[in-house]
Amino acid sequence: MTGSPLRAWLPDLIFADGVFESGLALVADSGGTILRLSEEAEDLAIAERLPGRAMLPGLVNVHSHAFQRVIRGRTEHRTSADRDTFWTWREAMYHAANAMTPENLYHAARMAFLEMMLSGITAVGEFHYVHQDLNVLRATLRAASEVGLRVRLLRTAYMRAGWKKEPNPGQARFLTADMARFFSDTDTLIAEGARVGVAPHSIRAVPIAAVREIAEYAEARDLPLHMHVSEQPAEVEACLAEYGRRPVQLLHDHGILKEGFTAIHAIHISEEEAAMLGGSTVCACPTSERNLGDGAVPADRLLAAGARICLGSDSNTQIDLLEDARELEYHLRMTKLERAVIETPRLFQAATESGAKSLMLPCGALEPGRAADFFTVDLNDLSIAGASRESLPAHIVFSLEKTALRDVCVAGNLVVRGGKHPLQEKIVAEFDELQSELWG
């Protein structure tokens, strides 16, 4: 491609319009925007060959708390509580949150973001509620930039421990001092060129009047609006006690549930609430939800109501968005005692295009006008070897292992080659030092 202002790649197979095609080069401009999928001789001549590989649009991880990467494996034991749940898990999470200096967060985020890229994720929504000053937020953005990951920083408001609850010392780093400061800091990040969104943490952490104020701010600036909703039964019970409404009902009554709104989890919802979410997006985080004992997202009911479903790695216990896609389906198979509840194309769409829409990012599909964000898989990897062109999408969604990942490209920059990131050894070594510092 020497001397050409264009960039092009030619894999054996390329996933476009829901099927795999051969003989096509993906051609992008110098800014990393896809111009065309081409079989023209001049485009094939300049293309970088990717033999033995299939190319797919980059995966979009809608919901991540990068700092929680440091507690992976350190909460998998019984505590002194009679019953271990999400609420006992939070105590270990608070320990990590309160140890997050900007430098610590930078190393934790780089590790999480590196792992994302090596699993085919090219974009992430970082739901960031560990506040100290803007330098903590900038550290996250710097980590994403160095790794090469596309990021939407979801600036989180967190105002209280809960209705009629005394402040929890463990949440001191989360608390938003006042709404004026929240908005001015967000404006500062926007002025600095950061891609941001806004996220009232949850109904228990943000009173509904403030949620409405944040929603109006987002709508005026065309920003994504994300919020934890009905993750735990206790949240539903508290909302009923405070407002006389379940969380989704309350948000509906206040006009929050619009196209730009994404409800994270939405597990403990009624049939009526599923219908209310029909014009919005729901982000399921199956690996994290099963790890925390949250429950299963009723994705079939939400899809039937017209909601979009996307996926997130959440607590980063494991980072594998295709695993999340298959677990979304497997949870339904276990509860409904039937198979193929959600068809393969919709599961892959949840990991790609639906996530891009939730984060308002220009990726999610390999088509002209979108960002040249993609990953490739080795067609001879043990996990998918023997797949036909027709069965390959199902092989990838239900069977692909990370060993198959070969290349990852963001905005036309091929960052991961042959399954290796250029900063991989450095990032892992520095993360190991951080873990020794935090845990001894």
Share of the chain above pLDDT 90, in %: 83
Q: Which pLDDT value is given to residue 1?
A: 46
312 Cβ partners below 8 Å, 6+ apart?
Answer: 61, 62, 63, 64, 125, 264, 283, 284, 285, 288, 324
pLDDT (average), residues 381-395: 98
C-alpha distance from residue 118 to each of 59, 102, 103, 147, 200 (Å): 11, 24, 23, 10, 30
Split at pLDDT 50, 70, 90, the class of 40 is very high
43, 185, 294, 314: which one is catalytic?
314
Concerning whether 314 is annotated as a catalytic residue, the answer is yes
Reported as a single tens digit per residue, the pLDDT across 240-286 is: 999 999 999 999 999 999 999 999 999 999 999 999 999 999 999 99
Give the CATH number of domain 59-359: 3.20.20.140
pLDDT (average), residues 55-74: 94
Reported as a single tens digit per residue, the pLDDT across 165-187 is: 877 766 666 678 789 989 999 99
Q: Which pLDDT value is given to residue 343?
A: 97
Distance CA 263, CA 297 (A): 11
Domains 7-57+365-424 and 59-359 alike in fold = no
CA geometry: angle at 153 spanning 324 and 410, to 5°? 65
Q: Which of 238, 241, 212, 237 is nearest to 227 (CA)?
A: 212
128, 228, 252, 265: which one is catalytic?
265
Q: Which pLDDT value is given to residue 35?
A: 98
Query: Would you list the domain boundaries of the chain?
Result: 7-57+365-424, 59-359
The CATH class of 7-57+365-424 is mainly beta
